[in-house]
């Protein structure tokens, strides 16, 4: 059995040999974040994938993120170290069901959360992330929107816009576990702490937040001088980065239940194996890719 430092050395040397870049989502295990060239939220990772000069992208995240990298960089090899790392929310909408709903709402513009498959993106007018959803929707001329798949992000956006929002009934199986009583309890225990909540949470949880932010937004918020204690209302993987970047500040996970098992499938061993064997690779078929890219490019033009 290899120790972590031996694994890390092998990964870093193979990464150089393959001319690879390692991108990791804020929810990844701490040891994965520590070997990544870049750690960020979905928007930051897709922007980074779009501009990298590396020939290989090792995507430490879930399947739709690797697909987004493949959509933006068709000439690069995109590795997802565990092909079973899918997002349950993304699986709650299929292209076929979306086409059916579009027929029922022919006037609506389709906005898909980036947490969706390439095929769903190909059926959409524009893509968005939790960091830019309000801005993207406000940028559209159309007054009627069909928003897929996250009903809770969609609901949050509907409180910030006058557009008519038709919401798909999807949800994140990790963020729905966060309960309002988690916040009430922590507010009593840490009265000075700022409560920061991800917009994938339920409305009754969001109602108790001091700030509603994407994970990238949380990272920036934590750097503020007036923030010394923060209740972190999202997947607990982000706590590793918050503590690492802000020594001396206190970060309190909102709930031990807020763990995404799919994000945790990526391990150091699997990253090494993927670089050794150059698989599993994620490649979006060209016809789908071109249509999906239009939706992603429209988003990237707004932000
Ligand atoms: S945290 Fe939620 S939205 Fe993110 S990958 Fe896991 S299930 Fe999907």
pLDDT per residue as tens digits for the range 276-294: 999 999 999 999 999 999 9
How confident is the model at residue 1, as a pLDDT?
52
Lowest mean per-residue pLDDT among 2-11, 144-153, 238-247: 2-11
CA–centroid distance, 29 to ligand 1, in Å, is 14
Residue 77 has pLDDT above 90, yes or no: yes
Range list of β-strands (E), 30-114: 38-40, 56-60, 77-79, 109-113
Tokens of 81: 């170290």
pLDDT digits (tens, 9 = 90+) for 124-143: 999 999 999 999 999 999 99
Q: For residue 265, what is the DSSP state?
A: G
Of ligand 1's listed atoms, the one at least distance from the Cα of 262 is 6
Question: How confident is the model over 196-211, as a mean pLDDT?
Answer: 98
Q: For atom 5 of ligand 1, which residue has the closest CA?
A: 87
- pLDDT tier, 50 (very low <50, low <70, confident <90, very high otherwise): confident
What would the mean pLDDT of 177-199 be, rounded to a whole number?
97
Residue 260 CB less than 6 A away from ligand 1: yes
pLDDT for res 239 = 97
Atom of ligand 1 nearest to the CA of 172: 2
What pLDDT is attached to residue 95? 98
**How far is it, in rounded angstroms, from Cα 171 to Cα 261?**
15
Question: Taking the complete model, does pTM exceed 0.75, yes or no?
Answer: yes
Q: How many other C-beta atoms can be found within 10 angstroms of the C-beta atom of residue 257?
A: 13
What's the residue count for the chain? 303
pLDDT band at 160 (very low <50, low <70, confident <90, very high): very high
* Average pLDDT of the residues of the chain: 96
Which pLDDT belongs to residue 118?
Answer: 98
What is the model's pLDDT at position 42? 85
Under 8 Å CB-to-CB from 234, ≥6 apart: which residues? 27, 175, 197, 198, 200, 201, 215, 218, 254, 258
Q: How confident is the model at residue 2 (pLDDT cuts 50, 70, 90)?
A: low
4 pLDDT higher than 90: no
Taking residues 66-70, what's their average pLDDT?
Answer: 95
Whole-number Cα distances in Å, 117 to 33, 225, 292, 301 = 24, 39, 9, 20
Region 219-245: what's the mean pLDDT? Answer: 97
User: Measured from the CB, is residue 150 less than 6 Å from ligand 1?
Assistant: no
pLDDT recorded at residue 248: 95
H/E stretch holding 137: helix 133-138
Q: Which residues of 155-173 are buried (b: 16+ CB within 10 A; e: fewer)?
A: bbbbeebebebbbbebbbe
User: What pLDDT does residue 303 have?
Assistant: 78
pLDDT of residue 43 exceeding 90, the answer is no
pLDDT digits (tens, 9 = 90+) for 259-281: 999 999 999 999 999 999 999 99
């Amino acid at each position: 059995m290899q120790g972590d430092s031996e694994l890390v050395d092998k990964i870093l040397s193979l990464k150089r040999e393959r001319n690879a870049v390692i991108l990791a989502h804020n929810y990844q295990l701490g040891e994965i974040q520590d070997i990544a060239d870049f750690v960020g939220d979905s928007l930051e990772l897709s922007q980074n994938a779009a501009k990298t000069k590396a020939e290989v992208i090792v995507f430490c995240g879930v399947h739709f993120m690797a697909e987004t990298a493949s959509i933006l960089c068709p000439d690069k090899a995109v590795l997802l170290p565990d092909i079973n790392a899918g997002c349950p929310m993304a699986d709650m909408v299929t292209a076929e069901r979306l086409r059916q709903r579009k027929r029922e709402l022919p006037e609506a513009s389709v906005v898909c959360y980036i947490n969706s498959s390439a095929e769903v993106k190909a059926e959409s007018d524009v893509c968005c992330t939790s960091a830019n959803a309000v801005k993207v929707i406000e940028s559209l001329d159309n007054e009627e929107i069909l928003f897929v798949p996250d009903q809770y992000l969609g609901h949050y956006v509907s409180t910030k816009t006058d557009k008519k929002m038709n919401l798909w009934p999807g949800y994140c199986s990790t963020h729905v576990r966060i309960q309002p009583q988690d916040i009430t309890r922590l507010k009593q225990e840490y009265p000075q702490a700022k409560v920061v909540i991800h917009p994938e949470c339920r409305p009754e949880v969001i109602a108790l937040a001091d700030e509603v932010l994407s994970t990238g937004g949380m990272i920036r918020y934590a750097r503020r001088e007036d923030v010394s204690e923060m209740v972190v209302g999202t997947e607990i993987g982000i706590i590793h980065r918050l503590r690492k970047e802000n020594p001396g500040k206190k970060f309190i996970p909102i709930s031990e239940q807020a763990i995404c098992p799919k994000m945790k499938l990526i391990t150091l061993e699997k990253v090494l194996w993927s670089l050794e064997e150059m698989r599993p690779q994620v490649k979006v078929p060209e016809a789908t890719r071109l249509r999906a890219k239009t939706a992603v490019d429209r988003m990237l033009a707004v932000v």
